[in-house]
Amino acid sequence: MLLIGGSRSALGLLAVRRACCLSRATHSSPHALEYKPIKKVMVANRGEIAIRVFRACTELGIRTVAVYSEQDTGQMHRQKADEAYLIGKGLPPVAAYLDIPDIIKVAKENDVDAIHPGYGFLSERSDFAQACADVGVRFIGPSPEVVRQMGDKVEARALAIRAGVPVVPGTDGPITCLSEAQEFSKTYGFPIIFKAAYGGGGRGMRVVKEYEELEENYQRAHSEALAAFGNGALFVEKFIERPRHIEVQILGDKYGNVIHLYERDCSIQRRHQKVVEIAPAVQLDPHLRDRLTADSVNLARQVGYENAGTVEFLVDKHGRHYFIEVNSRLQVEHTVTEQITDVDLVHAQLRVCEGRSLPELGLKQDNIRINGFAIQCRVTTEDPARGFQPDTGRLEVRVSLSWERTRPIWV
C-alpha cells in the first residue's frame, strides 16, 4: 500500500491542531455532564488498523489493549499495545477475532472502557456493538441500532429514499427466489446486479448481462453471500455501467451535529475490490460535490449517526448520483481524507465516544478545507497460471514515488 500526500507538512500541522482543539475542548465543554473520559481502549482487530488506533490512543494518553489469536502470537500489533491477551484459543485465526463472548470477557476482566472494532471482522456487527453496551463497555462507533440499519442494505436503501437521496432502481426487499429476479429483469432490462443483502466488500455481487446468465449468477451470488455473511439473502438492482464510485466521509457526535470531510474516488477496482483511492475526486463538478456531501449529511442526521462513517455513491456518465450503502466504521482509506483535511479521524472517534461535541473539537463544517491531493494504492496479488486467482508471497521490491508538489508519506 502506498500513500502519497499533498505538498505541505500535514503531519506537523495535525499535531498542532489536535493539541489546540483538545485544549480548548477541555476548558469549554458545554456538555460537561455527558463527558466520560476513556482511560483504556481495546482494539478488537489485528495488524495495521490495530496499530493505527494504538498510535492515536498513545497520543491522547489512553492505555491500549491488544487481542490476538494463537496464530498471531508474534504479530506486531501485539507488541505495540500496553497489554495483550489471547482470544479464541483453539480456533482458526479468523474465527478467533469473531469470538464475541471471549473478546467481551477479556475486556471486562481487564477494565477496558471502550472497544474500537477497526475495519472488517466485527466492525459492522450490531450484535457486537450491543454486546459491548450490555456490559457497560463503550463501542467506538455508531449505536447498535444504527449499525444494524446500515448493515441491512435493504433498510439502508429505504432510509435513503426517506431522506430524499436518489437510489438505483432495485427491489424493495431481499428476493426469495429466482422468479423474482426474472420478473425484475423483465421490468428494467439488462444488465442487472445481484448484491448480498447483509454484507459488502464485493462478496455476493454478480453482474448479469443477459437472460441466459441469470440462473447461474443467482445461485453463485447466493452461495457467496451465505458463505461470507451467514445469510444468502440477495437484492437486485439495475446495473450502472462504467460509473464513478464516489464515497463521502462523515463524522457525527452525540448531540446531532454531523459534518462531511469531502469525498474520495475509488473507481479503480478489481473484482469489486478497491485498488486506488484518491482524495478529493479529480474533475468532480462542484455542484455534484455539493449534492453528494449534502445528501450524505442529511442521511446521517436522519438516522442519528454518531462517530465516523462513509456514504457511498455511484455517479453515471450523465452526472447523476445514486446511493449505494453506508459503511458504519472507519475505512482502510481514511488516511487520504486525513491528509487533505488535516483532521485525525481516530482522535475524533475517541473524543466523540467520550462525549465531546464536534464544535468542541474545532470540527465545524466551515473549518473543513481541502488541501492538495492524496492517493492510496493497495497491493494486489494474483497468479496468472491459475486463472488470476488470489495469491500470496513475499513483497521483495519497494518503490517510493516523489515529484513536484507531492511527497511520500508511507510505504
CA nearest neighbour of 154 among 224, 233, 243: 233
Residue 120 has pLDDT above 80, yes or no: yes
All CATH 3.30.1490.20 domain ranges in the chain, comma separated: 178-238
For domain 178-238, the CATH class is alpha beta
Query: Taking the alpha carbons of 279, 284, 289, 292 in that order, is the dihedral positive or negative?
Result: negative
Given this model, what pLDDT does residue 201 score? 65
Torsion of CA 179, 181, 185, 191, to 10 degrees: -140
User: What percentage of the chain has pLDDT greater than the value 90?
Assistant: 72
* Positions marked active-site: 329
All CATH 3.30.470.20 domain ranges in the chain, comma separated: 241-390
Quickly count: other Cβ atoms within 10 Å of residue 310's Cβ. Answer: 23
Cα(388)–Cα(208) distance, integer angstroms = 21
Instruction: Output the CA angle 229-379-78, nearest 5 degrees.
Output: 70
The pLDDT tens digits of the residues spanning 298-345 come to 999 999 999 999 999 999 999 999 999 999 999 999 999 999 999 999
The pLDDT tens digits of the residues spanning 242-279 come to 999 999 999 999 999 999 999 999 999 988 789 999 99
Cα(178)–Cα(218) distance, integer angstroms = 7
Given this model, what pLDDT does residue 365 score? 98
The pLDDT tens digits of the residues spanning 54-94 come to 999 999 999 999 999 999 999 999 999 999 999 999 999 99
- Find the length of the chain: 411
Given this model, what pLDDT does residue 287 score? 97
What's the predicted TM-score (pTM) here?
0.82
Range name among 5-9, 80-84, 291-295, 363-367 with the lowest pLDDT average: 5-9
The pLDDT tens digits of the residues spanning 376-407 come to 998 888 888 998 888 888 888 776 655 444 44
Cα(18)–Cα(327) distance, integer angstroms = 25
Q: Give the three-class secondary structure for 262.
A: strand
The residues pairing with 309 across neighbouring beta strands, listed in sequence order, are 250
Range name among 66-80, 217-231, 365-379 with the lowest pLDDT average: 217-231
For domain 40-140, the CATH class is alpha beta
Residue 373 has pLDDT above 80, yes or no: yes
Given this model, what pLDDT does residue 61 score? 98
Mean pLDDT in residue range 211-227: 91
All CATH 3.40.50.20 domain ranges in the chain, comma separated: 40-140
Given this model, what pLDDT does residue 402 score? 52
Cα(289)–Cα(307) distance, integer angstroms = 22
Given this model, what pLDDT does residue 376 score? 95
CATH of domain 241-390: 3.30.470.20
Given this model, what pLDDT does residue 171 score? 87
CA distances from 163 to 294, 301, 310, 354 (A): 11, 9, 16, 29
Q: Across all residues in the chain, what is the average pLDDT?
A: 88
Given this model, what pLDDT does residue 272 score? 78
Given this model, what pLDDT does residue 391 score? 87
